[in-house]
Amino acid sequence: MTGKKTLVAAVAVTLALGAGTALADTAAKKIALSNNYAGNSWRQAMLKSWDKVTKKAVADGIVAEASAFTTAENQATEQAAQIQNMILQGYDAIVLNAASPTALNGAVKQACDAGIVVVSFDGVVTEPCAWRIAVDFKKMGAIQLDYLAKRMPKGGNVLEIRGLAGVFVDDEIHAGIEAGVKKNAQFKIVGSVHGDWAQEVAQKAVAGILPSLPQVDAVVTQGGDGYGAAQAFKAAGRPIPLIIMGNRQDELTWWKEQKDANGYETMSVSIAPGVGTLAFWVAQQILDGVDVPKDMIVPFLQIDQGNLEANLATTEAGGVANVEYSLDDAKKAIASTK
């Protein structure tokens, strides 16, 4: 019997190797999420997706732990201290949504030197030892101007609503918008405010700048700000411009209402909050011995006039249009990047 068991085990190993499956065991591994900010619906959806997917992974015995930690303030110094605590607590991998692409590099290097896998996503870091899962945020900004050029060939005045000041994502989307304006010179940015990717903040910021602005023909955004902008224009008694949306449920609902009432047309674009679950699985695969490229690009999620209703139907109240990743999805993403 022992000989037969040994033969069966050997066959299983051979089949696993033939299928390209890594053989390291991650059941005892601990993965932590280091998140720098939770003050908007996107971050809340990201944390909810993380909790949903990782709880099942723990229950299935794939990893031992997958805890999530969010700093009280969006400060790189606080997040660096958080990472250092994770090193001391013996985590095997840290999945990181970073407050800064560079300010956390020292803490990330300390984690790497301690043998910890670091996978950054959304807000990525530049430290070479870390992995990065990013959206082409510059393109996400630039395509907004390309869309406006198709809808408004003669151009017009544009209000820009930026995200959280000092964060990599805000800088990248802003750079893409600037590039889009340069390419489509018929458009002029007549005002810019920070909406912090939050509807209430955006509404207040837009309301504050509107009295000083000329006619606004379009609003470019970063996500979590479109509905707030619409409410600010309405309260000011000004015509509602073409507002680019950011996949939030309240934005999509408002868009649907306007579409039904008067044919209002726009587009919506954002990174799916579930990208954090892809980062989790990538970390698990690295711990499992898989050779993963240091840089991975994931597509952003774009909603158009024709698929608005379908996306709204699958977006929960108060949430964000989303895509969550499975282990198989992660394996495919890794393979396609290679």
- Amino acid, res. 42: W
Same domain assignment for residues 125 and 160 = no
Same domain assignment for residues 155 and 258 = yes
Same domain assignment for residues 240 and 281 = no
Q: What are phi and psi of 334, to 5 degrees?
A: -65, -45
- pLDDT on residue 167: 85
* 3-state SS, residue 262: helix
**What does pLDDT average to over the chain?**
92
Same domain assignment for residues 85 and 131 = yes
Q: Domains in the chain: how many in total?
A: 2
**How wide is the angle at C-alpha 40 spanned by C-alphas 39 and 43, nearest 5°?**
90
Identify whether 18 is part of a domain. Answer: no
Q: Cβ neighbours of residue 236 under 8 Å, at least 6 residues apart?
A: 207, 210, 211
- pLDDT on residue 257: 98
For the packed helices 327-337 and 275-287, what is the interaxial angle rounded to 10 degrees?
80
- How far, in Å, CA of 314 to CA of 41, rounded? 16
- pLDDT on residue 148: 98
- pLDDT on residue 168: 85
Identify whether 124 is part of a domain. Answer: yes
Torsion of CA 11, 13, 18, 23, to 10 degrees: 170
For the packed helices 105-113 and 76-88, what is the interaxial angle rounded to 10 degrees?
10
pLDDT tens readout for residues 155-184 = 999 999 999 998 888 999 999 999 999 999
DSSP state of 298: -
Identify whether 216 is part of a domain. Answer: yes
Same domain assignment for residues 109 and 187 = no
DSSP state of 212: G
Identify whether 78 is part of a domain. Answer: yes
Same domain assignment for residues 180 and 106 = no
Give me the CATH number covering residue 163.
3.40.50.2300
Q: Residue 47's domain spans which residues?
A: 24-135+272-300+321-337
Give the pairing of strands 268-270 and 301-303: antiparallel
- pLDDT on residue 166: 84
Give bridge partners of residue 219 from the DSSP assignment.
Answer: 159, 243
Q: What number of other Cβ atoms are within 10 A of residue 123's Cβ?
A: 23
Same domain assignment for residues 198 and 293 = no
Q: Which of 253, 270, 287 is the last residue of a domain?
A: 270
Q: Which of 270, 290, 313 is the last residue of a domain?
A: 270
Output the CA–CA distances (angstroms, integers) from residue 128 to 116, 131, 233, 271, 312, in the order listed.
Answer: 14, 8, 45, 24, 39
- pLDDT on residue 3: 43
The tokens for 240 are 């509602």
pLDDT (tens, 9 = 90+) of the chain, 338 residues, equals: 434 333 333 333 333 333 344 446 999 999 999 999 898 899 999 999 999 999 999 999 999 999 999 999 889 999 999 999 999 999 999 999 999 999 999 999 999 999 999 999 999 999 999 999 998 999 999 999 999 999 999 999 999 999 999 888 899 999 999 999 999 999 999 999 999 999 999 999 999 999 999 999 999 999 989 999 999 999 999 999 999 999 999 999 999 999 999 999 999 999 999 999 999 999 999 999 999 999 999 989 999 999 999 999 999 999 999 999 999 999 999 999 98
- 209, containing H or E segment: helix 199-209
